[in-house]
Amino acid sequence: MTQKISQYFQQENILKSLLMILIGAFCIYPLLTLLFKVSWIDGGLSGQYFEKVFKSSSTQSAFFNTIIVSFGTALLSCIFALPISWLLKRTDLPYVKFSKTICCLPYAVPPYIGAIAWISLANPTNGFLNELLFGTGFFNIYSHLGLIFVMSCFFYTLVLLNLLNAFDRLDPSLEEAARISGAAPRKVFMQITLPLILPSLTSGFLLVFLASMASFGVPALIGTPGDIFLITTKIYTLQKMGSFSGIYQAGALSVSLLLFSIMIVYGNLWIQQNLSYKTISGKSPRPSLVPLKKLKWPIFIGLYLCLFILFGLPILSILVTALSEVPGKVDINLMGFANFKKVFFEMSETSRALTNSSILAVSAAFIGCILGFMIAFISTKTQMKGRKFLTTAANLPFTTPGTVVALAFILAFSQSFFGLPFSLYNTSILLIIVYVVKYLSLAINVNADGLEQIDNSLAEAARVSGANWFTTLRTIWFPLLRNSIFASWFLILMPCFSELTMTILLAGPGTETVGTLLFQLQEYSDASGGGSAVLSLVVVGFVISLNFLIKKMSNGAYGL
């Protein structure tokens, strides 16, 4: 029996060692390669590429634009999210569960889809809003304000989810005591509620700032036509030069973006650890909701009108564009399914992109959910040395901007690697690895949540009975965590299917995906915009359906 128990722990150690090798090779090594190749030249440290790229006036302008757009997006996102979260959690707003889902739904849709939608709405030459209401040129989406607004329409959900979680943790007795003392709802909010949720609001602000800095699709589709370059689009431009100098300059920009991102992530962690308020009480009572009285239905209608402008109107514009045979014209006589026929039956790229995206997403989701489960198990159910490093290293790529991750993999695996004399660049294998590395954190967190809720006694009983590690895994942990494992699979599948930021730098001929095809149709080869609108509908329908499936399978634990 002692020998079998010893073998059990030996198998756990073997698993940990294998995971450490994989995480080191694919999460740490590429980022270190990026740092080394742009700063170590001719046998010594050199700032040659940093100096060259930062002396460029276009780079300086890109940094300035990035700060302005990211700050504006974060601020506007907070302005959107704060009143919505309060209405959902502290008032008697009707249909609150459904309203919460609708308010959070933009989180599941790729922001570049919103960019395509708002281009069709507010293009200065033939946008629907200009054509129908205000005249040519009244709205110009190709501007700083356009960039900020479009990204805020989607990134405000990062702040909203943070605030909803903060309201759930907040002890409502503090607010109730203020109301009993005669304080008006506005005074309670300003003097009690807002100070208590301010750390979460600040954390959400930083998350949106980071997401805006890392965004590529919206800046590329809206910023570039308006001659507004951000760091991510500047990296893309330098990498597409095709020269080693361009790649290394892009690498220098990526290192700077990575360092800035690390500062923001640690700033966010510091806020959560040092500024978050903790209230000491017994069982928290159900919050006393503020009655909206006669304003209930006007506020409800106003909320859904705002949501229609932020999310419903763009989706409607995509549908109209997909059906319209003449861009910018809303005429029932000029509508039909010609764009659908062109995309699905006349373009050979469509079937290839859909097939590639499906294979890549399913493969990455399968590998990611298995690795995520293993790492979560080591982290939560063992006392092994190095388990914290394992989870920290695996979570690092998720907080790293996608352009930085992609460029790191280009430099690490474009020639030989680990002594193997072949390249992974422009291959589907590299795309699968990058997807797994980027979204592995989702599987780790979901499975860790499930594992922490299960007592160790069942596994200990199996071990004492002589079951080896793999038998315990198959008969105890997998059945109990089936829903968490499936949820992690779907959570990885959803962003991988429509991923653009990393794929646009890594995909080559024959490895086109839905994201890259959408980008190409919108930017280069589809003057009417109908093809990109059709594919956008496919993506929106896919991610929304998948979100509701995740929510149903997890009994509401995951999903929006």
Residue 304: predicted pLDDT: 92
CATH tag for 57-234+287-332 (out of 3.40.50.300, 3.30.830.10, 1.10.3720.10, 3.40.50.720): 1.10.3720.10
436 pLDDT band (50/70/90 cuts)? very high
Residue 89: predicted pLDDT: 87
Q: Compute, in degrees rounded to 10, the torsion defined by CA atoms 422, 426, 430, 435.
A: 170
Task: Take residue 495 and report the two structure tokens written for it.
Answer: 């962003």
Please state which CATH number belongs to domain 1-40+337-560. Answer: 1.10.3720.10
Residue 41: predicted pLDDT: 63
Residue 277: predicted pLDDT: 57
DSSP code string of 469-524: HHHHIIIIIHHHTHHHHHHHHHHHHHHHHT--TTHHHH--TT---HHHHHHHIIII
Q: What is the DSSP letter of 432?
A: H
CA 107-113-115 angle, 5° bins: 105
Q: What is the pLDDT of residues 455-492, one digit of tens each?
A: 667 666 766 666 666 777 777 777 777 777 887 888 88
Rounded to whole angstroms, the Cα distance separating 543 from 497 reads 9
Q: What is the pLDDT of residues 46-55, one digit of tens each?
A: 667 777 877 8
pLDDT above 70 (res 506): yes
Half-sphere exposure of 321 (CA within 13 A, CB side): 34
Task: Classify the C-alpha dihedral 382-386-390-391 as positive or negative.
Answer: positive
57-234+287-332 and 1-40+337-560 share a CATH fold: yes
Instruction: Enumerate the H helices of 105-243 as residue ranges.
Output: 111-122, 128-129, 144-169, 172-180, 185-188, 194-214, 217-218, 231-239
Residue 74: predicted pLDDT: 94
Domain parsing of the chain, residue ranges = 1-40+337-560, 57-234+287-332
Residue 282: predicted pLDDT: 47
